[in-house]
Amino acid sequence: MTTVPSLLAGLNSGEIPLDSVPDNRLYSVASAIYLGGLKGPDELLGRLSTLQRDLLGFQKILIEGDLAQAIDASEALLHRSRSPEERDAECEVRLRIERALIGAVDEEAIGAELRWCVDRLNAMMPESPLHGIAILNLAAWHTSIGEVMMAMAIHADISQEGGHLAEIRGLSRLEVGRILTTMGDLDPAMRHLWTAREIFLANEMQAEAVIAGLEWLDLALEGVSADAPTMSERIRDSEPRELPGDTWIDSNPSDVREVIETLLPILMKDVSGEERNDLGLIFDAAAILPETSWSLALVDRIDEIQDSRLLDVLQS
């Protein structure tokens, strides 16, 4: 499935005609222009219904942080989305997701509401971007109330072989990696974080790739061995398990090096900030491998570093 940025690039270049944007992608593309600040043809907004344009306005209110006004607006919009005059199933689902997340429904009804949205989209727009977002939200809700096994089962609906967007698959793997980390099941946690990082890199999602890389590195530095299998080998040889366990496999230095070499140019663009645990991981990795060029890169910028703990170790 073509991503929204790819659709916009095609529209802006003229390679994709305006009238060829399918109706089920129209709102997402318009939202990226109106709310996300991406460049796109203004004429696209003209294809939206009045309800869809008002829904964009509601989401803008949410972004601006006026929760009370957003809740009031959402109730009226939800009624319109169900009315004979403006009935729009996609708008209804979008509104019900947002209302569940902003506290416009009773707390005990949030899970059922999010589940309804997932099931409705599975029937109406399976594996669409909105369907993927709905699954992620439902899984996140289960995680937030401590139902991590249920969250894991929901994430399993976003398979690596399925038709969900790469961004959705990457975010799902990232969240599964985090859940497994909290459970102490670190071998599969590292595999999921690595997979997420690879998906993000392949789809030019730099910020997300940095996050996944740092979370993987934080685990990997607990044990590094030249005899350890690489991440690609661990992923290739992994087998399904009935239940999570308490597992650990040392990381291979070549994988650590690969992650650091990707992270370093990005992190070194700005070394300011009073809490730079990311730079601390770079320093730790430099000592463990060892790789003096990484620590020297930090020393060269010592006048710009503000993290007191990092300064202490660099000056010792």
Q: How many domains in the chain?
A: 1
77 within some domain: no
Is residue 141 situated within a structural domain? no
Provide the angle, in degrees to the nearest 10, between the axes of the packed helices 67-82 and 89-101: 150
- Mean pLDDT value across residues 13-36: 86
Distances from the Cα of 168 to the Cα of 124, 155, 159, angstroms: 18, 10, 10
Task: Quickly list DSSP for 90-134.
Answer: HHHHHHHHHHHHTT-S-GGGHHHHHHHHHHHHHHHSTT-HHHHHH
pLDDT of residue 26: 86
pLDDT in tens, 106-117: 999 999 999 999
Q: Determine the average pLDDT of the residues in 61-79.
A: 94
Rg (CA), the chain: 23
| pLDDT at res. 18 | 86
Task: Report if residue 31 sits inside a domain.
Answer: yes
Whether 114 maps to a domain, the answer reads no
The band of 243, judged by pLDDT with boundaries at 50, 70 and 90, is low
- The Cα–Cα gap between 172 and 156 comes to 9
Whether residue 40 is contained in a domain is answered as yes
The pLDDT of residue 193: 98
Asked whether residue 42 is assigned to any structural domain, the reply reads yes
User: Is 150 strand, coil or helix?
Assistant: helix
**Tokens 């999921």 appear where?**
192
| pLDDT (average), residues 161-189 | 93
Low-confidence winner among 7-11, 111-115, 259-263 (lowest mean pLDDT): 7-11
Domain hosting 20: range is 1-48
Residue 266 has pLDDT above 90, yes or no: yes
**Percent of residues, the chain, with pLDDT higher than 90:** 78
The pLDDT, as a whole number, for residue 20 is 84
- Could you tell me if residue 129 is inside a domain? no
Higher-pLDDT residue of 151, 42: 151
- Checking if the pLDDT of 315 tops 80, the result is yes
Residue 1: what pLDDT?
59
pLDDT at 25: 83
Position 244 confidence tier, pLDDT thresholds 50, 70, 90 = low
The stretches of the chain forming alpha helices (DSSP H) are 4-13, 23-34, 50-64, 67-82, 89-101, 110-124, 129-144, 148-155, 166-182, 186-202, 206-220, 231-237, 253-267, 277-288, 292-299, 308-315
92-148 per-position pLDDT tens digit: 999 999 999 999 999 999 999 999 999 999 999 999 889 999 999 999 999 999 999
**Residue 144 located in a structural domain:** no
What are phi and psi for residue 251, nearest 5 degrees?
Answer: -90, 155
Binned at pLDDT 50, 70 and 90, residue 162 comes out as: confident
Q: What angle do CA 126, 130, 134 make, to 5 degrees?
A: 90
Q: Is the pLDDT of residue 247 over 90?
A: no
- The dihedral formed by the CA atoms of 66, 107, 126 and 14, expressed in degrees to the nearest 10: 10
- Residue 182, judged by CB atoms within 10 A of its CB (0-12, 13-18, 19+), counts as exposed
pLDDT for res 200: 96
96: number of Cβ within 10 Å? 21
- d(C-alpha 101, C-alpha 140), whole Å: 11
| Cβ–Cβ under 8 Å, residues 284 and 221 | yes
